[in-house]
Chains A and B, each alone.
Chain A
Amino acid sequence: MNTARAELLKLASLPALALTVGLTWGLTALLALVADGADPIPYARAGFLVLGVLAASSEYEGGQLRSTLLGTPGRARLQVVKALVLALVATPVAVVTVLIADTGDAAYLVLVTLLAGAVATVLRHAVAGVVVVLGYYYVLGPFVRDRFDDGLWLPAAWALAAWCAATAAVVRRDA
């Protein structure tokens, strides 16, 4: 429980995350107002991907992870708590975004946030994480995704698999 509180405090006190959330809401509201007919969710999704990347990669700026691991030596447990806390933070943000946009699925946005967080944990670098997740979702994805239906099970499976990979990486890798 203490671990969860610590992780929550870390996420809540990152200015970059607050900025990302603010920009995402502002942009969604603007798109919902101005561009009639266009779905704001594909744009808002970029905000959630960045949210996940920044939340995870912040541990790797200036060796913060070493302090974290001194406080919480159980690495696998730490990663599980991180995933839960990120989901906890992303959920209200996603619900508000869906309310603003008046369309979309909050669960999907939470899942892509988790996926982005896992990718950034493996890569340990914010810019690399942004390139990979945005490159997949916006450049490569549209060519690949047409072959699958847009259900929730696929993003859920990916988020789970990516988070398992991230946990394995953190457990096995030097901090």
Chain B
Amino acid sequence: MRTELLKLAGLPSAWVAAALGLLIPPLLVTLNARAVPAGTDTGFVELTVGVLGPLVLGTIAAGSEYRGGQLRTSLVCVPSRLRLLAAKTGAVTLTVAVTAALSAVLTLGVAGVLTGGAGPRIAGVVVYWVLGGLLAYGITLLTRSGVLPLTVLIVNTTAVSFSYLLTKVTPLAAYLPDLAGARMYLHDMDTPGDLAPVTGGLVMAAWVAAVLGVAGYVFHRRDA
């Protein structure tokens, strides 16, 4: 696990990803402050977009192993593939959780809505970011290249979201990972379905667990 953290810290792009997660939400809050009237979700909406940072981080944590055959070296040092994967997953989780907590406090501070009662919602943001990062990480393990997962997931976090479009086709889209997960901290969502925060978190966690399970199986079986 220490090795995995070191590997991550040695990637300049990982620092860029963390900086993206830290800086985008406060920046958007500042930009939005004049245009959008303050509501119950001020700051939290911007934190949803900030999940971009964890998405990039998860992608490069998995994708960097597949550049120049680094994975073969890693597997020589840690022959047990599942142990290697567990350590890597732990490193991503830890890094994203720290980034998320810092970014949430910073963003809500800038938005001026950092109050004592915000605690549970901040926890929701942290869980959302960690699960988002792990989702990108799991998909990248499957595709072995970050381009496809990043394209789909980045476009999906924004105004032209596939998930949001799907809610107009079927109400079941409320159970997609991003929409269900956002229930953990957003109060005013104009999408159908009404999941409780904890239920939403569990739905998102189930998606991530499924993706990681498949990725883990494939990673275990595939030639490096």
Contacts and interface: CB of A to CB of B under 8 A. Distances in A.
Given A42-B160, A127-B13, A134 B150 contact: yes
Contact of B154 (A31, A53, A135): A135
Interface stretch (A64-72, A138-146, A160-168): A138-146
A56 interface: no
Main SS class of interface, B: helix
B176 interface: no
B158 A127 contact: no
Nearest to B153: A134
Contact of A35 (B52, B150, B154, B165): B165
A134 B155 contact: yes
Q: Identify the interface centre among A35, A42, A138: most chain B CB within 10 Å of its CB.
A: A138
B147 A130 contact: yes
Main SS class of interface, A: helix
Nearest to A37: B168
B146 interface: yes
A43 B147 CA distance: 16
B59 interface: yes
Contacts of A21: none
B139 interface: no
A1 interface: no
B155 A138 contact: yes
Contacts of A175: none
Nearest to A27: B162
Contacts of A131: 20, 56, 150, 154
A54 B147 contact: yes
B56 to A, nearest CB: 6
Contact of B145 (A38, A126, A135, A142): A126
Interface string B147-172: 10011001101111010010011000
A140 B31 CA distance: 10
A53 B165 contact: no
A81 to B, nearest CB: 24
B151 A46 contact: yes
Contact of B146 (A31, A34, A130, A135): A130
B28 interface: yes
Contacts of A53: 147
A130 B140 CA distance: 14
Contact of B150 (A16, A127, A142): A127
B170 to A, nearest CB: 10
A139 B49 contact: yes
Interface of A: 16, 31, 34-35, 38, 42-43, 46, 50, 53-54, 126-128, 130-131, 134-135, 138-139, 142-143
30 contacts: A16-B147, A35-B165, A35-B169, A38-B165, A43-B155, A43-B162, A46-B155, A50-B147, A50-B151, A53-B147, A126-B145, A127-B13, A127-B59, A127-B63, A127-B145, A130-B146, A130-B147, A130-B150, A130-B151, A131-B150, A134-B150, A134-B151, A134-B154, A138-B154, A138-B155, A138-B158, A138-B159, A139-B24, A139-B158, A143-B28
